[in-house]
Amino acid sequence: MKPLIVVPDGFDKELFSILQKETRLDIFPKSKLSQEELKNILPKTHGLIIRSATTINAELLEIAKELKLVIRAGEGTDNIDKKLCTQKNVKVANTPGANGNSAAEHAIALMFAVLRKTSEAHASIKRGEWEKSKFQGNEITGKTIGLVGFGRIGQTVAKRLMGFEPKVLFSDPFVQNCDMPYAKKTTVEEIFKNADIISLHTPLMPETRAMVNKSFLNLMKPTAILINASRGEVVHQNDLITHLQEKKIRGAGLDVFEKEPLDKNSAFLTLDNVVLTPHLGASTDEAQVRVGEMCVHQVKEFFLNHKLLNEVKA
C-alpha cells in the first residue's frame, strides 16, 4: 500500500501538481480541506503537511491511527502537540528558514505602516477625504530598534534595516555571539525601556507565553511602537489593548493574535493606533514556493528513502 499524503491547509498549485505526479505516493486530490473532511480521511493518512490552520491535537491524533509524519510548512510548531506525537511515534518536522525573509519583510512593513499611518491615510482618501495634516508620521532612520528574539528572522530584520542607520538592540538567550557590529545584546527590560521600535521574533514557549504584559509595556516610551509578527500568545492582548486605548504608547502593528481569526468584537478593531493584518508573515509567492519545495523533498525522503529531515522534538 502506498503512503497517503494529505495537505489540508493549502499548497502552491504547481508544487502540489509535482507531488501528485510521484507515483510511489498516494496524494489526496484536494489541497485544502475542511475540518470535517480532514477527520474523514485521517484514519487512512500516513503523512500530513500543514500550515497554521490545522492544529494537531489529541482529538486528531486519536483518529489518525496510521499517521507517521507531520510536516509544518513553516517554522513554528506550537500548533502541534509534539509530546503526544512522540508518544504515538509520529515524527514532526518543519521547514526552517524557508519563509524567514517574508516574515522579516512583513515585520518591517508593519513598522512603516504604523510610523507613517499609511493604512489610516489610505482609508481616509478612499472615503473621499484629503486630511494631509492628520497623518503626519515619523521616520525610521536613526531610531533605536529592539529585537526580542534574534534567530533567523530577527537577524534578517536587522540586516534589512541597516540602510536606515538604526541602533539595534537584541535579546535572545540562545544567541551568545553576534557577528553584526551594529547589533548589541542586552536584556528584554533594557529593550522595552530604550527602544523606539520593539519587534518580537521569539518562538512560543512556556517562558514566552504572555511575556509582553503590562509590566514590560509600562517600561515603553510613550513615543514607542510594538510590532508582533511572531506568535500572538507572546503578547497579553488585554494589557496591550489598555495601553493603546490610553495612548500610553504610540501604536502597534500586529500580524498574529491569541485567537485566530481575530474575534469580530475585538477591541483592537476600535483603535486608530494599531495596524492589523491576518497572519500574513509567510504569505508571499516566493515563501510559499520555498516552503513547498522543502515539504515535497522531505515527504519523499521520509517515505521513499527513510530519512527524516528537519525533525522537531518535543
Q: How far apart are CA 194 and CA 131, in angstroms?
A: 32
Catalytic residue among 231, 236, 243, 250: 231
Q: Are 140 and 197 in contact (CB under 8 A)?
A: yes
Residues 6+ apart with CB under 8 A from 230: 76, 149, 153, 200, 201, 202, 203, 204, 256
Terminal CA-to-CA distance of the chain, rounded, Å?
A: 30
* 3-state class percentages of the chain: helix first, strand second, coil last, to nearest 5: 40, 15, 45
**Active site (annotated) includes residue 122:** no
Q: Are 297 and 309 in contact (CB under 8 A)?
A: yes
Q: Are 273 and 251 in contact (CB under 8 A)?
A: yes
Residue type, 289: V
Catalytic residue among 59, 62, 189, 260: 260
- Buried/exposed 9-33: b ≥16 CB within 10 Å, e otherwise: bbbbeebbeebeebeebbbbeebeb
**Active site (annotated) includes residue 279:** yes
**At residue 148, what are phi and psi to the nearest 5 degrees?**
-95, 105
Residues marked active site are found at: 231, 260, 279
